[in-house]
Structure formats: structure tokens, C-alpha cells
Amino acid sequence: MGVAVWSSAPYYAMSKIPAFSIVAASSGTGKTTLMEKLIAEFTRRGLRVGTVKDDAHRFQIDHEGKDTWRFMQAGARAAAIVSGQQYALIQRTEEKKDLLAVLALIEDVDIILVEGFKAGPLPRIEVVRREKGESVISGGERLLAVATDIPDLAAGKPVFHLDDARGIADFLLRQ
């Protein structure tokens, strides 16, 4: 299965899994909290949700001393762990993996929510929190709506309250 992206550019082929980014100008705006609320709302409606998180730091998903960690420490470029309920793949890369390539790896979901990748190709909901600044950084056709705690924010797009996961979910499903 592929991933649905928002663009008229020919290299953004439309496909079967809709994917949306939740973006903001800075950290601490509530992206993760909104993602959690949307995941819970979509799951409540019976949808299977996939997620991707953009990490600006050097994350460590494996744990020291575990077998896969030991394999990577010994020089493996990839290590996978597989059970009857889930699997994980750790893959070394020379550069940040392309978002669309990562999305293509996700399977058996109805919708994908991506936290971050504000320069990426996906349609997005931008989170604007008064204490972090009152301007919208996204523009153009990729910006679908804004989630904010500023009731009178002029965004030129639909504006939702940060806590309105139901309304945002309805809106995304109409897209």
C-alpha cells in the first residue's frame, strides 16, 4: 500500500493510505498531545492508526545489553526483532530517511499521522499555542487547518480548538 500525499506535483502519487502531518513552529506547542487525542479518537471510531515521529535529536530505540543492541554494536547495519504481535527494524542510515519512503513501510492501517516534518510534502494541521507565538508558519495548499488556543486567530483556513480532537478528526476524514 502507498501513502496519500497532498500535491499536484507528479512525483506525489495518490494512493490508498491517507497521511497527515501535525506541525508547529517550535517544540512545546502540543503536537504530541494533539496526536494522542487524534489517535484515541480515530481508534474509538474503529480505524487503525499508524504514526511517524520526526526526531531532531539522536534517538535510541534499542536498549543496552539486549540482543539487537548487541548485534548493532558488533557492526550490523540492520537488526530486526519479530514476535507474534509486533516487529521492529533498526536500520543504520547515512542520512535522514525520506518521509515517503518511511510511510511506504507502514502497512495494515487506515490513516497515518505524522508528527513534524514541517518541510515535508504531506497536508498538515498546524498547532499554534499563544505562549509559543501567534503566527502560522505553513502556507499554501498543504495547510489544511490550524489547531490553537487563540480563539480569534486569523489563519485563512479552518481553525479548531486544541482540544477538539473530534472536530479535527471529522475534518481530516472529509479530506
Map out the domains of the chain as residue ranges: 3-59+96-174
Closest CA relative to residue 24, chosen from 169, 174, 131, 171: 131
Rounded mean pLDDT, 106-127: 93
- The percent of residues in the chain predicted with pLDDT above 70, rounded, is 89
Instruction: Give Cβ neighbours of residue 64 (< 8 Å, ≥ 6 apart).
Output: none
**Rounded Cα gap, residues 67 and 154, in angstroms:** 52
- Average pLDDT of every residue of the chain: 86
Instruction: Answer yes or no: is pLDDT of 3 > 70.
Output: no
For residue 110 the three cell numbers come to 487506515
Rounded mean pLDDT, 1-21: 55
Closest CA relative to residue 130, chosen from 153, 159, 113: 153
For 3-59+96-174, the fitting CATH number among 3.40.50.300, 1.10.1060.10, 3.40.50.2000, 1.10.1610.10 is 3.40.50.300
Cβ burial, residue 97 (10 Å; 0-12/13-18/19+):
exposed
At 57, the pLDDT band (50, 70, 90 cuts) reads: low
Q: How high is the pLDDT of residue 15? A: 47
